[in-house]
Amino acid sequence: MSAEHSIAIDVKDAVKRYGSFTALKKISLSIMDNEFFTLLGPSGCGKTTLLRMIAGFEDVTEGDIFLYGQEIANLPPYQRPVNTVFQSYALFPHMTILENVGFGLEMRGKSKADARKRAGEMLEIVQLSQFSQRKPSQLSGGQQQRVALARALAPQPKVLLLDEPLSALDLKLRKAMQLELKHLQRETGITFIFVTHDQEEALTMSDRIAVMSAGELQQLGAARDIYESPRNMFVADFIGETNLLEVSVDQVVNGRAICHLGGGHELTCNQVDGIDVGSKVHMSVRPERLFISQEPTESESLKGRVLDNVFVGTDITTIIDLADGPNFTVRTSNSDRGNKRIFEPGNEVYVNMELGAARLLVD
Partner 1 sequence: MAAGATGGGSIASDTYAETRNWLLMPAWLILAVLSLAPVFLMLIYSFLTKEFRGGVIWEFSLAAYDQFFFDRGLFGDEPPKIEWTYITIFWRSIWQAGAATLLSLVIGFPTAYYIATRPAHVRPIWVFLITIPYWVNLLIRTVSMKFLLRDQGPLNDLLISIGLIDSPIHIVNTDFAVQLGLFYSYLPFMVLPIYAAVERYNFALSEAAADLYANKWVTLRRVLLPSVKSGVIAGCILVFVPSLGSFLAPDLLGGAKNLMIGSLIEEQFKGNAGNWPFGAAASMILLTMVLIILMIFARQQAKAQKAEG
What is the binding site for partner 1 (CB under 8 A)? Answer: 55-57, 76-79, 82-84, 86, 88, 90-94, 103-104, 107-108, 134-135, 137-138, 151-152, 155
Q: Which residues of 271-282 are buried (b: 16+ CB within 10 A; e: fewer)?
A: bbeebeeeeebb
**Shortest reach from residue 56's CB to partner 1, in Å:** 7
CA pair distance 197, 238, nearest whole angstrom: 10
Residue among 152 and 205 whose Cβ is closer to partner 1: 152
Q: Which residues of 53-70 are buried (b: 16+ CB within 10 A; e: fewer)?
A: bbbbebebeebebbbbee
Residue among 96 and 299 whose Cβ is closer to partner 1: 96
Residue among 121 and 241 whose Cβ is closer to partner 1: 121
Residue among 21 and 78 whose Cβ is closer to partner 1: 78
**Shortest reach from residue 173's CB to partner 1, in Å:** 21
**Shortest reach from residue 176's CB to partner 1, in Å:** 24
CB atoms within 10 A of CB 238: 22
Amino acid (1-letter code) at residue 227:
Y
For residue 68, give the 3-state DSSP assignment. Answer: coil
The alpha carbon dihedral of 104, 108, 113, 118 has a sign of: negative
**Shortest reach from residue 95's CB to partner 1, in Å:** 8
Q: How many residues does the chain have?
A: 363
Q: Determine how β-strand 70-71 pairs with β-strand 62-67.
A: antiparallel
Residue among 134 and 289 whose Cβ is closer to partner 1: 134
DSSP 24-65: EEEEEEEEETT-EEEEE-STTSSHHHHHHHHHTSS--SEEEE
Residue among 108 and 337 whose Cβ is closer to partner 1: 108
**Shortest reach from residue 193's CB to partner 1, in Å:** 13
Residue among 154 and 358 whose Cβ is closer to partner 1: 154
**Shortest reach from residue 182's CB to partner 1, in Å:** 23
CA pair distance 149, 325, nearest whole angstrom: 51
For residue 263, give the 3-state DSSP assignment. Answer: coil
Alpha helices by DSSP H, listed for 215-299, are: 223-228, 233-238
Residue among 20 and 137 whose Cβ is closer to partner 1: 137
**Shortest reach from residue 86's CB to partner 1, in Å:** 5
CA pair distance 294, 303, nearest whole angstrom: 10
**Shortest reach from residue 285's CB to partner 1, in Å:** 43
CA pair distance 357, 150, nearest whole angstrom: 43
